[in-house]
Amino acid sequence: MTPSTPPPNPKLFGTDGVRGRANQAPMTATIATAIAMAAGSIGHQPGRRRLAVVGKDTRRSGYMLEAAMTAGFTSVGMDVVLVGPVPTPAIGFLVRSLRADMGVMITASHNPYHDNGIKIFGADGHKLSDEHEAVIERMVAGDDFPLASDDQIGKAQRLDDVAGRYIEFIKSHFPADLTLDGMRIALDCANGAAYKIAPTVLRELGAEVVAIGVDPNGMNINDRLGATNPARLRQTVVEQRAAIGLALDGDGDRLVVVDERGNVVDGDHLLGALAIGMHQLGQLQGDGVAFTVMSNLGLEQWLTSQGIASHRTPVGDRKVMASLRQHDLSFGGEQSGHLLFPQKATCGDGLLAGLQLLALLLRWDKPTSALSQLFPLLPQRQASLPLTNPGVLNQPTVVSAIAAMEAELAGHGRLLIRPSGTEPLLRLLVEGEDVAQVNRVIDRLTTLLS
């Protein structure tokens, strides 16, 4: 089987779209074209022109995949608007703004440059449901698409004013009675999709911005920078005496915060702070917050003490957004930095979240380091192991050993084991009241599953 041939297993979508090594299945031009043909065929109505918005981050392979998906969409009669490098949340915004039928973001998020991926949005600006993804997978596996007649092939064009539209949209969600005048902000754009937009937004709101990771060359996205690599941002904050450091990932949908002392603020403290801030302003709809199974028990316990309900979800911002919509809530997110405001945006938006956090700090008149003092987190350890044997968790000896560890933690902590939705890894999490016990259990788990 050649790398360009669709794999026999029709499973393409993971936790957040399709992802893999560029120019290897499933991230080849051939498969990307097939995905676009399948996606563009959903909801097709003869005689009605349909529109897809296609954006990308700054990876070199984005050019190849952009062209491939354009070919796929136009071949089934869809028109295409190409918007170039923009943050992932901009696609959700543009789909609705342009009244498009579909949106695509070509990105592998926080992964290295040699990976790439495809995230697909529906006409409502939200990421596709599992059901729609399954339909696309079946169509790609069947390699049977309703090609347009020669006079109905779609057209493609570039839209040049996208950045300006999105900048104004983001700025509109910063309170008009507040200003960032005089605030020095260190900003890390990971040489990714937000490298122009994010510094512009903060400067236009009055901030003094010290920007790093704003010189993409196609192969340096997330390279020792960004939300998953905040070491350089931490150094920059201290050296430049910044009030706060904001790190985005390669596609701009994730936010990691560094305080004025150079310490990374835990994602659960961000969730807790934003939740209580919205609660104080009467903006926390449903008096509840949705977050994933990865969040610390300390967050849940503190929210309960503040009269705020917790809604746990599986991992993935799509799962959190589904819970927010189901329970009619106005805020939620992931410990990893995906922060969701469904009344403002259709997916995680690192820049939008950063502005909400800056507004909160201004209203509280507190330094960024105060966020980490809001409530204690239970001791927690995480680990990632290569997933060489997918059936390992079903082996009787493994099942028995894990059950014994869960019994040991019962009432005092929890244990979570899950395959990664984006990489061939097994994710482990253990937390509890006793740090020695947590360390002991995670070490035993690592040995058991290695």
| Catalytic residue annotation | 109
DSSP, residue by residue, 107-126: --TTS-TTEEEEEEE-TTSS
> Using CA atoms, how far apart are residues 264 and 287, in angstroms rounded to an integer?
28
Q: How far is CA 368 from CA 44, 355, 413, in A?
A: 50, 13, 29
d(CA 345, CA 365): 26
- Which position has the token pair 């199974």? 293
Let me know if 74 is exposed, middle or buried by CB neighbors in 10 A (0-12, 13-18, 19+). buried
- Take residue 115 and report the two structure tokens written for it: 């990976």
Residue 211 CB partners (closer than 8 Å, separation 6+): 187, 188, 189, 198, 199
Cα 387 from Cα 417, distance rounded (Å):
12
| Closest by Cα among 55, 52, 61 to 111 | 61
Name the phi and psi angles at 385, rounded to 5.
Answer: -125, 145
